[in-house]
Structure 1
Amino acid sequence: MKPLSVMLSMLAIGITSSAVMAEGANLPNASLPNVSPANSELVNRGAYIARAADCMACHGEDYAGGTAIETPMGGIYSTNITPSKRYGIGNYTEKDLKNALQKGRAPSHMLYPAMPYPSYSGMKDEDISALFAYLQTVPVVDEAPEKKTDLPFPFNIRALMLGWNFLNVPSTENREGLSPAQQRGEYLVNNLEHCGTCHTPRNSTMGFDKKMYLSGAQLGHWHAPNITPDESSGIGSWSEQDIVTYLKTGELEQRAYAGGPMGEAVAHSTRYLKNEDLSAIASYLKAIPAIQTDDKMSAVDVSRLPTPINESITHDLLAQKDYLAQAKTAVSNGSNAPESLYLAACGSCHGVDGYGQPDARYAPIVGLSSLRRDKPDALVNMILHGVEGATNTSPIMPGFSDELNSEQIAGITNYVRVNFGGLERSEVSAADVDRIATTGVDKPFLIKYAGLLAILGIIVAIVVIIFIIRAILRSRRRR
């Protein structure tokens, strides 16, 4: 089972009392794969651009594609971007790649904005040139992904993207008054890393709601948090070094742990970035306007956080076995005591005292701000649905919707929020769990009724054409 901290990484916004991991700030960046002295400087630079643009999160480390990207319109599958002439982009020219990245236009069709060209539209030509040179050198995968995109009408009409692009590209605007470092950070945040794709909510056309820039958005069962410098609902309590450490290591002690989509971003992209680029991102994020949302966090009460029972029992699963066995026996005998439920369902990974199993990559959940948010929706969703790891070697947490009833899930939610989040009380009910379990992401009106609107549009167009034809025929008869 994956740690609750990993489940909720994207929701984890800092606590004010905990210091940044000093050792994390000094860790070296991950060694960049596919860089070799045998390659040209341009190709090696392109390998870095591929990481900075997070290409692998969707197309895979081998660039063969096939990753499912869930959207309100349906599933979109990433494509093969290896130099395969039959299945990939082996026949692309540099101009073709530039059109795909900046305009969403492949040689034979329009792309869907699941490929974040609304953000890549701001990519610099020299970065595209380097990326093109690099992509020509990756190993060829001569096969198509198992699944291909097949959206329902009218979204299967790719030409409609021309109108969508007119309304929504580019997705961001450059700010004035930034320092050179912050300008670099803006380029990384808005264009290469395309952070707004997850963290900025959408408008009625599914483009970015620019007034709510980086203030958080719902992604299926995930919630990408507010990353503006707001103190109560964003990352205002994080220092620039905190941001650098999180992007480099994927965690902040007793505050945040990256998993899910954010875990993928760290695993495939941000941990490879140069320190100066990470610092530029941090400086920019501290300079943007703070936006307060209604999903605020309670201030952490350090005095209410648990003290590790002892070093052995905190880090050694064998030392916890008696606690866990007793809890499982109690639950099997019908106990719904929240502590027993937590220990039986979660304790073997999160630990009996919430400090996890660090050696096995099961991080602690004590103090995480995801447990202190006013809204329990994201926490409940992760318990219900679980989450896959960011990499092939990451632990996987299953969902518990088939194993635990709503009352039991509410009990675990309240238990971890109070005992490991430091809240004075938590009153999530079974009814709350039922509501959260049956609430999907709201689809904008235009998306929800797109098929009906398209049919009505066709009917209106036909009626108008008929009216025009009749008018023309009457005019000729009068002559």
Structure 2
Amino acid sequence: MKPLYMVLSMLAIGITSSAAMAEGASVPSASLPNVSPANSDLVNRGAYIARAADCMACHREDYTGGTAIETPMGDIYATNITPSKRYGIGNYTEADLKNALQKGRAPNHMLYPAMPYPSYNGMTDEDISALFAYLQTVPAVDEKPEYETKLPFPFNFRFLMLGWNVLNLPANENREGLSATEQRGEYLVNNLAHCGTCHTPRNSTMGVDDSKYLAGAQLGTWHAPNITSDESSGIGSWSEQDIVTYLRTGELDQRVFAGGPMGEVVAHSTRFLEDEDLGAIASYLKAVPAIQTDDKVNVADVSSLKRPINESITHDLIAQKDYLAQAKANVDSSSPEGLYLAACGSCHGVDGYGQPDARYAPIVGLSSIRRDNPASLINVILHGVDGATNTSPIMPGFSDELDSAQIADISNYVRVNFGGLANSNVSAADVDSVISPQDQRPFLIKYAGILATLGIIAVLLIIGLIIWNMVRKKRTH
């Protein structure tokens, strides 16, 4: 089930889509695992709910958990949710699962909101019943988890989540005036698929800031982009079919590729969803009020973009290899162009048009490299990208091979030559800020240990003063 700070969604790099995708044709959903004619309709429905809720992103495909979810309070490890009676949820009743999903309450302790119960709080009883029935059929794994959640003081006291819930559990008020399709999309976006968990910023208590609903949020070194209908910083220029295609395949021709946390969402969840549900999500997102943020996508100067040397070279790997060798021989290897050719050219091509037959991404004109904030591009160069499916190529990261100045040079070269920007001024300091981001935790979270200690001392002093005063009065009488 999707984490609080992991998550999520990067418009990182683009790859060539099929002709059908380019024409806006429907892309079939992937075959849904764990659905069998031998199972009841309720169980099979639960398997679908598990995919829609993206349980596997944290609890893994076998539901044994163990995934580390990075939060400002520390790493929280997803637990075993197989029917193991010793290590999993084999002793859960349906009411127990409902309490965990909607209230963040396990039978013996409170849950941390890394398990997104603030979103699941709005799940319907019917979906919870189906999910419960399905989880009973998952093979039980009776193995002790390799890691356990051990947060620092005072977050190690789980009962504090009671107060957090009072402040941050939503009232689940639905918008008025939505069509039936948009209402279904609202349920998926807000509750089951919990898109806002990653794409909505957090307030000082780490609850969602509803005033910036779906306007983008920082997730560690990654940034979940604005997915409101704003034209310049959001996805207002996307059609509903664009959104469906992206969620189904992780690709959108000549524009974006789902990498990082969003790649995981596509891989584990959205590619399995029914056309009607993806269409409902798209319909609702187009109806979400636009919020403009500072991270705008600049308009590309198309006339300045590189052109392939000929029409066939991207499909002719031998010619492309020779072309790359010639290009390297004609430039200084330490120059921005030389660095790009050495690190990136063999996959993305000398002219940035990639290798479609091998599914290596073209990067010409991509929105992610035209953003005001270059952090996403820097992140991709540093850490690489896993594809949205197990057949997608994996882009390696270069954090161990290139220094910050070299990564800045490549970023500037890509943004100008393939993004169509007039200029780019990414510096080594910008790269360093992505490698080691500033501590942006809210004051209450950052100094929670100190504040809690001072609070305990204050309470003890007050109790001591009360006792001393009582003793003093008793002596005077």
TM-score of the aligned structures, taking structure 1 as reference length: 0.91
| AA aligned opposite 2:347 | C
Q: Paired residue for 2:445, among 440, 444, 447? A: 447
Q: Distance in 1 between matches of 2:145 and 2:276?
A: 36
* Other-structure match for 1:120: 120
Q: Distance in 2 between matches of 1:20 and 1:201?
A: 36
Quick check: 2:51–2:270 contact (8 Å CA) kept in 1? Answer: yes
| AA aligned opposite 2:294 | D
| AA aligned opposite 2:417 | N
CA RMSD, aligned part only? 2.3
* 1:310-329 mapped onto 2 (5 Å cutoff): 310-325=310-325
* Other-structure match for 1:81: 81
* 1:141-180 mapped onto 2 (5 Å cutoff): 141-170=141-170, 173-180=173-180
* Other-structure match for 2:273: 273
Quick check: 2:355–2:362 contact (8 Å CA) kept in 1? Answer: yes
| AA aligned opposite 2:250 | G
Q: Structure 1: which 5+ residue stretches go unaligned?
A: 1-7
Structure 2 residue 421 is matched with structure 1 residue 420: no
In structure 2, do the counterparts of structure 1 residues 386 and 441 end up closer, same or farther at CA, with 3 Å as the change threshold? farther
Greater displacement, 340-349 / 383-392: 383-392
* Other-structure match for 1:358: 356
Greater displacement, 346-355 / 304-313: 304-313
Q: Paired residue for 2:397, among 396, 399, 409? A: 399
In structure 2, do the counterparts of structure 1 residues 436 and 90 end up closer, same or farther at CA, with 3 Å as the change threshold? closer
Q: Distance in 2 between matches of 1:63 and 1:420?
A: 42
Q: Distance in 2 between matches of 1:280 and 1:162?
A: 34
Q: Distance in 1 between matches of 2:63 and 2:317?
A: 38
Q: Structure 2: which 5+ residue stretches go unaligned?
A: 1-7
* Other-structure match for 2:284: 284
* Other-structure match for 1:5: none
Cα deviation, 1:140-185, whole Å, max 9, x if unaligned, reads 2221331111111111111111111111112864222211111111
Q: Distance in 1 between matches of 2:392 and 2:458?
A: 53
Q: Distance in 1 between matches of 2:390 and 2:70?
A: 20
Q: Secondary structure at the match of 2:218?
A: strand
Q: Distance in 2 between matches of 1:411 and 1:342?
A: 8
Q: Distance in 1 between matches of 2:230 and 2:45?
A: 35
Cα deviation, 1:434-469, whole Å, max 9, x if unaligned, reads 344332351111111111111111101111111222
Greater displacement, 198-207 / 340-349: 340-349
Q: Distance in 2 between matches of 1:318 and 1:64?
A: 45
| AA aligned opposite 1:378 | S
* Other-structure match for 2:207: 207
Give the CA deviation at 1:204. Answer: 0.6
| AA aligned opposite 1:136 | Q
* 1:11-410 mapped onto 2 (5 Å cutoff): 11=11, 21-22=21-22, 25-170=25-170, 173-325=173-325, 335-390=333-388, 394-410=392-408
Q: Secondary structure at the match of 1:218?
A: strand
| AA aligned opposite 1:188 | L
Quick check: 2:32–2:272 contact (8 Å CA) kept in 1? Answer: yes
| AA aligned opposite 2:343 | A
Greater displacement, 119-128 / 361-370: 361-370
| AA aligned opposite 1:448 | K
Q: Secondary structure at the match of 1:223?
A: strand
Greater displacement, 66-75 / 389-398: 389-398
In structure 2, do the counterparts of structure 1 residues 412 and 9 end up closer, same or farther at CA, with 3 Å as the change threshold? farther
* Other-structure match for 2:4: none
Give the CA deviation at 1:389. Answer: 4.6
Greater displacement, 189-198 / 382-391: 382-391
- Aligned residues between the structures: 466
| AA aligned opposite 1:33 | P
In structure 2, do the counterparts of structure 1 residues 147 and 359 end up closer, same or farther at CA, with 3 Å as the change threshold? farther
Give the CA deviation at 1:66. Answer: 1.0
Q: Secondary structure at the match of 1:314?
A: helix
Q: Distance in 2 between matches of 1:11 and 1:303?
A: 24
Q: Secondary structure at the match of 1:398?
A: coil
Q: Secondary structure at the match of 2:64?
A: coil
